[in-house]
Amino acid sequence: MPNVYDFDKTIVYPDSGAAFFGFCLRRHPRLLRYLPGLCLELLRFALRSKRPAPFKAEYYGFLRGLPDWEEEVRLFWETKADALLKPWYLTQKRPDDIIVSCSGEYLLGPLCQRLGVRLVGTRVNTATGRLESFSCYGEEKVRRLRQALGAAENGDALIDEFYSDSLSDAHLAALARRAFLVKGDARGPWPGMEHDGDSAL
């Protein structure tokens, strides 16, 4: 079974989407006009208690204001990856790791390819800024992971070890043999799922 990881604030320190927008904004100040719509969409997302509906175009709309979004993503990871990736993840990374994230595949894809791991993320139409499906969040992460693994809808464990900074990922944690809650560089047993010999790392 693979190890599965959340991405933002789990194996990288910041929220990657916000960090990427800030990176692009410094290089292209005209993107400031997209900031109000982006903030509004973040607020709407935070207020949803269940499966999030697709973001409106305002959230990823700033991609339309970039001359070459693929080049911006390449430059972002080329200059920031070493500082953003948590060393403990690089130490234990395995080739069968799967990253399951709410962040856009357009952004995480190049880094995951560089790391040599699989990615399940939110699918974004970079031409329009709209999502092509539901945000990969909460229970949607489980559905997408099962789809990626070709797994049946049953209670069997799909994951060897699972890591996330957010309790919203409890549905994935429940599918793991061992699950860990990440805070900064510290990793401790998932609440209510303590295992013999586990302690904060």
Q: How far apart are CA 109 and CA 99, in angstroms?
A: 10
Three-state DSSP at 114 gives: helix
| pLDDT value of position 197 | 47
- pTM, whole model, 2 decimals? 0.89
Q: pLDDT tens, position by position, for the chain (201 residues)?
A: 999 999 999 999 999 998 999 999 999 999 999 888 778 777 776 676 444 444 555 678 899 999 999 999 999 999 999 999 999 999 999 999 999 999 999 999 999 999 999 999 999 999 988 888 788 988 999 999 999 998 766 656 689 999 999 999 999 999 999 999 999 999 999 998 765 545 445
Q: Which residues have a Cβ under 8 Å from the Cβ of 157 and sit 6 or more positions away?
A: 1, 175, 176, 177
Q: How far apart are CA 41 and CA 47, in angstroms?
A: 10
| pLDDT value of position 201 | 57
Three-state DSSP at 59 gives: helix
- Residue pair 195/178 in contact (Cβ under 8 Å)? The answer is yes
Q: Which two tokens stand for residue 81?
A: 């990856």
In angstroms, what is the C-alpha Rg of the chain? 17
| pLDDT value of position 54 | 47
> Of 63, 162, 42, whose CA–CA distance to 105 is shortest?
63
Exposed e or buried b per residue across 61-98, where buried means at least 16 C-beta atoms within 10 angstroms of its C-beta: bbbebbeebeebbeebbeebeeebbbeebeeeeeeebb
Q: How far apart are CA 166 and CA 84, in angstroms?
A: 18
| pLDDT value of position 119 | 98
| pLDDT value of position 200 | 47
Domain 4-189, CATH class in plain words: alpha beta
- Residue pair 59/41 in contact (Cβ under 8 Å)? The answer is yes
